[in-house]
Amino acid sequence: MKKVIRYSLIIFLSYVAFCIFVFLNQENLLFFPFRGVFIIPKVDNLEEVYIKTEDGVKLNAWYFDNKSDKTIIFFHGNWGNIFFNRERIKIFNELKINAIMPDYREYGRSGGEILSEQDLKKDADAVYQYVLSKWIKSENIIIWWQSFGGAVAIDLAQNKNIKALVVESAFSSLEEMASSQFPYLPIKFLLKFHFRNDEKISKIHIPVLIIHSIRDEIINFSNWEKLFSLANEPKFFLKTNGTHNGGFSSSFDLYVSTFRDFLKLK
C-alpha cells in the first residue's frame, strides 16, 4: 500500500511540475522565431524598412510598392520569419497591390522579445501607422493573417475603418486548440496567452474572407466553421488544398482569382 501511495505521489508531483514547466515556458512553446533573414529576395519593388513601436522596439519589414492606392498588411504565423513567407510576394505583384510583411519582435531582424499579447498588439499598431504614413487611407488597407498571425491581425482590425480582413488557416481560440491537443492538461488555468479570435471576430464589421485547407495538419479544418459562423456579413469562404503552410502554393491560382473578386480588383 505504501508503494502505491509513493508512486501515486511521484506521478502527481511530476504532473504538477510539468504544468509549472508549461506555464513558465509558454513563450518558448508558442513562438518559434528564426533570428536573422538569410536572403532578401531580388525584387525591384522590395524595400527593407524598420518601424519603431511605441515602446521603442525596432521591427524589420519588407514593403512592396506597386503604385496602388491599396495596401495589404500580411501577418505571418508563429514559426520562422518573413523569409519563410517569401512566396507571398508573387500574389502581391500579381494583384498589383502594395503590401508590407513585418516580422514581430524577436523574429528575423526585429529586436525585442514577446512577453505578452500586448507586445504583439504594439507591433501590429506600429505597422498600421507606418502604412498610414505612406499616404494610404485606412479604408484602403487590407489586413491578412495566416495561422497565429490572426491573434495580431484581429486585434488591429477592431475599431479600424479598413477595407477588409483575410483570415487564413486560423484557430478559433488558443484554449480550444490546445485543449484538443493536450486534453490531460488544465489548459484554461495554464494559459498566459489566450488569442480569443472567436470572441473578437464578431466585433468586426468589415468584409471578411476566411481561407482554410481541407488537408491542414496543424489547425483542424473545422475551425473555419466556428469563425465563419461568428463573423458578420459580408463574409466569404475559400476552401483550398495543401498542408497548413503549403496550401497557398498548392492553390495559388485560386487565391489570385478569389482575391480579385473579394477586393473588386480589375
Residue range 200-227, pLDDT digits in tens? 899 999 999 999 888 776 777 777 788 9
Which residues pair with residue 59 across a beta bridge? 51
Segment 53-80 shows an average pLDDT of: 95
Backbone angles phi, psi at 39, to 5 degrees: -140, 135
> CA torsion 94→99→104→110, rounded to 10°?
100
In a domain, 4, yes or no: no
Q: Enter the pTM of the model.
A: 0.93
Residue of higher predicted confidence among 56 and 176: 56
In a domain, 213, yes or no: yes
Q: Report d(CA 227, CA 13) in Å as an integer.
A: 38
Instruction: Quote the pLDDT of residue 2.
Output: 73
Instruction: Quote the pLDDT of residue 149.
Output: 67
Q: Domain limits at 258?
A: 31-262
Give the count of beta carbons closer than 10 Å to the beta carbon of residue 60. Answer: 22
Q: Report d(CA 126, CA 129) in Å as an integer.
A: 5
Segment 114-125 shows an average pLDDT of: 92
Q: Report d(CA 50, CA 25) in Å as an integer.
A: 29
Task: Name the grid cell of 164.
Answer: 477588409
Residue matched to cell numbers 505578452: 116
**Count of domains observed in the chain:** 1
Q: Report d(CA 234, CA 225) in Å as an integer.
A: 15
- The strands making up 208-213's β-sheet, listed across from edge to edge, are 46-52, 58-64, 98-102, 71-75, 141-146, 164-168, 208-213, 235-240
Segment 124-130 shows an average pLDDT of: 95
Single out the residue of 261, 264, 255 nearest to residue 88, CA to CA.
255
DSSP string, 69-83: S-EEEEE--SEE-GG
Give the count of beta carbons closer than 10 Å to the beta carbon of residue 9. Answer: 10
Segment 241-245 shows an average pLDDT of: 76
Which residues pair with residue 164 across a beta bridge? 142
In a domain, 55, yes or no: yes
Q: What is the CA radius of gyration of the chain?
A: 20
Segment 92-103 shows an average pLDDT of: 96
Instruction: Quote the pLDDT of residue 266.
Output: 60
> CA torsion 149→239→139→125, rounded to 10°?
0
Asked whether residue 70 carries a pLDDT value surpassing 80, the answer given is yes
In a domain, 123, yes or no: yes
In a domain, 162, yes or no: yes
In a domain, 233, yes or no: yes
Looking at every residue in the chain, the average pLDDT score rounds to 89
Asked whether residue 156 carries a pLDDT value surpassing 80, the answer given is yes
Cα 223 from chain centre: 15
Q: Could you tell me the CATH number of the domain that includes residue 38?
A: 3.40.50.1820
Asked whether residue 37 carries a pLDDT value surpassing 80, the answer given is no
In a domain, 13, yes or no: no
Segment 169-174 shows an average pLDDT of: 84
In a domain, 24, yes or no: no
Segment 21-43 shows an average pLDDT of: 86
The CA-atom distances, in angstroms, between 134 and each of 32, 54, 55, 62 are: 31, 18, 22, 14
